[in-house]
Amino acid sequence: MATKTVIGEAQEVGLAIELIELGARLQLLQEETSLSRERLLRLYKEVKGESPSKGMLPYSTDWFLSWHANIHSSLFMDIHHFLVKNAGIDGVRALITAYRLYLDQVQGIENGEAVLSVTRAWFLLRFFKAGMLQFVQCKECGGQFVSHADDLHNDYVCGICHPPARAGKTKASKNLAESSSS
C-alpha cells in the first residue's frame, strides 16, 4: 500500500474542491480522487454549503446527439482534444481545463448558460475512450462533431449547417425575444 503524503493529500483535496466548484457530482469525485466518500461529503458541504445531489448519473450516449447538446459537446471535445494534443495535459486536469475553456466560450452566447455540465463532460470523455462515441466531419463546413461510433457517416451534416425546424423555438428564447423587443 502506498504511503500517503501530506502534500499528496492536499493536492487531492485541491482537485476535489476544483471539481466541486465546477459542479461535479459525488460519483465523479469518488472516481477521480482517492479521498474517502465521507471526506468528500464533508468537503462538498463545506464548499457548496449543501449536500450533493442524489440519484443516478446520466448514462446515455443519445443525450450528446440532440442538435443543441451536440454543438456544445463537440465544442468541449474539440477543446479537450486540442489540450491533450498540444498542451501535454491529460486525465482530470485536461477535463478541468477544457471545461473552464468551454465555459469561457459559451459565456458570450446562450445567455451565458452552459448546456454541458462537468459531469456530462466527464461521461462524454468516457464514452469516447470506450469507443461508443467518435468525431465525424460535417460534409458542408468541415467541422468535427460528436456522433455514435456505429452510425453511417458518409453524408453527415451538422446541426449548425442544417438546424432542425424547431431549433431556437424554446420557451427561454421566446422570453428573451420578448424582453429584447420591449
- 68-84: per-residue pLDDT in tens? 899 999 999 999 999 99
Q: Which pLDDT score is estimated for 163?
A: 86
Q: How many CA atoms lie within 13 A of 14 on its CB side?
A: 7
Confidence at residue 176, expressed as pLDDT on a 0 to 100 scale? 47
CA distance 99 to 116: 9
Look at residue 31 in the predicted model and tell me its pLDDT: 94
Closest CA to 151 of 84, 46, 70, 95: 70
Arithmetic mean of pLDDT over the chain: 87
**pLDDT tens digit sequence for 106-138:** 987 756 788 999 999 999 999 999 999 999 999
Reading phi first (left if > 0) and then psi (alpha if -120 to 50, else beta), residue 145 is in beta
DSSP 87: T
Residue numbers of the chain with a pLDDT score lower than 50 = 1, 176-177, 179-182
The structural domains of the chain, with segments of one domain joined by +, span 6-48, 62-174
